[in-house]
Structure 1
Amino acid sequence: MKKTGFLVLAFCAQIFFAQANRFIYQVTMKPDAANPSDIKTESAYLDVNKEKSIFYSENRMKRDSTIGRARQTGSFNFDRSQMQSLRSNIDYVIEKDFKTGVKTFKSRIARDQYSYEEDRAMDWKILPETAKIGDYKTQKAETNFGGRTWFAWFTTDVPIQDGPYKFSGLPGLIVKVEDSKGDYSFDLKESKKIAEIFNPDSRGTVMKVKRKDFEKQNAAFRKDPVSFLTSLSSGRGGGMRGENPAISPPTMRTPDPSQRKRMEERIKEEIKSNNNPIELQY
């Protein structure tokens, strides 16, 4: 009987992965710990095929599409307000390789692009509690990751052991996951078949580093973003300071002093109001 059940599950998975699938999540975030009423909400996609999955923001896809069209036409006269509206608090892409089990995190620091392989295990405790979420029968699970306690609801109705962000490893798709403080939540809103999964445009060299080195570089940027801007505008690049050779970013025009000051103030204010990251411990 058990063997028959496994065969049915394998058959269902084979049918399920005949095409790529897109799971659309609503992501709710409280990035400013000092202002919990400032709640950010946006959509993110989990694209899945039989080989891998990729998690990214909807605005990332829209921005890539806009820039791709500009490259084809040779016209880069972007509407500033349009591009500003496509900025995202989900400033990363996460790819999971189902064969190797490797999770790759990709993000920018200033103008430099980095990637690292996640090196921490995600150990789940499956709980007896169940709930109906949308059309899905789900079961609750708990894990501690990145300094937060997370509760997830997964469904075995969808034969994929994956979910949004870095979450995976439960016996079914994660329909909802939220931290115990209510700062971050991912809620499945829709799913659909797609021809192929999205391939984000990296636009340049991506530096592969260790996770700890990425976090060290990110902390340095948050502490002194002006020094990163100085190295960018002078053409020195922003690479891993004191650890890896600098890699020059795309050529950029040096702003006039007043414009530069406004840019520095804007970046400092953004960093100040983003003091509650999804991962509190590294």
Structure 2
Amino acid sequence: MKKIGIIVLGLFMQTIFAQTNRFVYQVTMKPNAADKNDVKTENAYLDISAEKSLFYSENRIKRDSIMQQNFQSGGARGFNRDQMESLRSNINYTVEKDKANQKTFFKDRLGRDVYQYEEDRPISWKILSETMKIGDYKVQKAETDFGGRKWTAWFTTDLPYQDGPYKFGGLPGLIVKVEDAQGEYSFDLMKNYKISDFPSMNQFGNTIKVKRTDFVKQQEKFKSDPVSFMSNQGGGFSQTRMGGGGGGIAPPRSGGGGGNRGGNGGDFRKRMEDRVKEEAKNNSNPIELN
């Protein structure tokens, strides 16, 4: 009986440590450089296991769920545009940290495809002696310069994780709060709970692995010529595409002769360029300035 009890206890402990812990952060942003009164707030998840962590928008999962239900029903119900519009997010990226190899991977969509790069800039923290309480946690202060901003973080050793929201990590505890010196971006831990596993995320198009510097170049190219990223050859990295079948947004198919085709293509290009310019203006104050 004693042997059985030890086995049961071992399985119980294994189950506990196999679980994924979800930390919910409130993200406050001022993404429009021309209007600092335009404050955006939404929730994001930091899911942590022993092997990795994943940071992404709460609205991403909600949108994926709606789209999945729509596809499973054969698209018969159609999308509720108002509902999808309410789930728009300023956090369109995901950040994955590989615990074993101490690597951080950033993913973001440009047109049809998702671009991924490995972060090549280590975050160097200055840990200060100042402490205080945030909610239930005793926290300690740390500072760093990253992405063209000066950041102040408050971390706790009350939780057994050395991680944080976005690309932040590497402190001897979990980051409870991190904010830039201008007060334009902040991440505040709201709550945490256990989940069974990491969520399965929908992805349309291919994953293109590039260097960070190349991603920045492609991002600028997308802003100036978004339509080129909607074709199968768009973006300049078609030879490095990984994964299957292009999805996402594609140019509308023509249904008639050459004249109609040219007109439709011109209308599509104009709408696409106008949309990207509007989004660029609304996101002219990015989290990373360089």
Scaled by the length of structure 2, the TM-score of the pair is 0.84
Q: What's the CA shift for 1:221?
A: 1.6
Mapped to 1, the partners of 2:91 and 2:184 lie a distance apart of: 14
Name the CA shift for 1:14/1:139 in 2 (closer, same or farther; >3 Å).
farther
Name the CA shift for 1:244/1:262 in 2 (closer, same or farther; >3 Å).
closer
Any conservation in 2 of the 1:129–1:140 contact (CA below 8 Å)? Answer: yes
Residue 45 of structure 1 corresponds to 45
Deviating more after overlay: 139-148 vs 252-261: 252-261
Residue 188 of structure 2 corresponds to 187
Deviations 1:130-180 (A, max 9, x none): 110011000000011111111000000001000000000011110000001
Residue 4 of structure 1 corresponds to none
- Secondary structure of the equivalent of 1:245? helix
Residue 5 of structure 2 corresponds to none
Q: What's the CA shift for 1:79?
A: 1.2
Give RMSD over aligned pairs. 2.2
**Equivalent residue letter for 1:87:** R
Residue 84 of structure 2 corresponds to 83
Residue 140 of structure 1 corresponds to 141
Q: What's the CA shift for 1:66?
A: 1.2
Name the CA shift for 1:238/1:111 in 2 (closer, same or farther; >3 Å).
same
Any conservation in 2 of the 1:138–1:154 contact (CA below 8 Å)? Answer: yes
1:174 paired to 2:175: yes
Deviations 1:73-95 (A, max 9, x none): 21261111211111110010010
Mapped to 2, the partners of 1:230 and 1:168 lie a distance apart of: 36
- Secondary structure of the equivalent of 1:45? strand
Q: What's the CA shift for 1:236?
A: 4.1
**Equivalent residue letter for 2:226:** F
Any conservation in 1 of the 2:232–2:238 contact (CA below 8 Å)? Answer: no
Mapped to 1, the partners of 2:96 and 2:128 lie a distance apart of: 27
Q: What's the CA shift for 1:14?
A: 8.3
Any conservation in 1 of the 2:163–2:175 contact (CA below 8 Å)? Answer: yes
Deviations 1:31-68 (A, max 9, x none): 01211000000000000111110000001011111112
Structure 2 alignment gaps of length 5 or more: 1-12, 254-263
Mapped to 2, the partners of 1:138 and 1:15 lie a distance apart of: 29
Deviating more after overlay: 66-75 vs 91-100: 66-75
Any conservation in 1 of the 2:208–2:240 contact (CA below 8 Å)? Answer: no
Aligned 1:179-218 pairs, distance under 5 A: 179-218=180-219
Residue 271 of structure 1 corresponds to 280
Deviations 1:257-280 (A, max 9, x none): 556534432321121221111001
Any conservation in 1 of the 2:55–2:165 contact (CA below 8 Å)? Answer: yes
**Equivalent residue letter for 2:39:** I
Any conservation in 2 of the 1:24–1:191 contact (CA below 8 Å)? Answer: yes
Mapped to 1, the partners of 2:240 and 2:100 lie a distance apart of: 33
**Equivalent residue letter for 1:67:** M
Mapped to 1, the partners of 2:148 and 2:211 lie a distance apart of: 19
Residue 20 of structure 2 corresponds to 20
- Identity across the alignment (%): 56
**Equivalent residue letter for 2:190:** K
Q: What's the CA shift for 1:191?
A: 0.4
Structure 1 alignment gaps of length 5 or more: 1-12
**Equivalent residue letter for 2:38:** D
Query: Of 245, 258, 261, which aligns to 2:239?
Result: 245
Any conservation in 1 of the 2:147–2:288 contact (CA below 8 Å)? Answer: yes
Mapped to 2, the partners of 1:97 and 1:17 lie a distance apart of: 17
Mapped to 2, the partners of 1:15 and 1:169 lie a distance apart of: 26
Mapped to 2, the partners of 1:204 and 1:272 lie a distance apart of: 26
The count of corresponding residues between Structure 1 and Structure 2 is 262
Name the CA shift for 1:217/1:137 in 2 (closer, same or farther; >3 Å).
same
Deviating more after overlay: 201-210 vs 47-56: 201-210
Name the CA shift for 1:260/1:85 in 2 (closer, same or farther; >3 Å).
farther
Scaled by the length of structure 1, the TM-score of the pair is 0.86
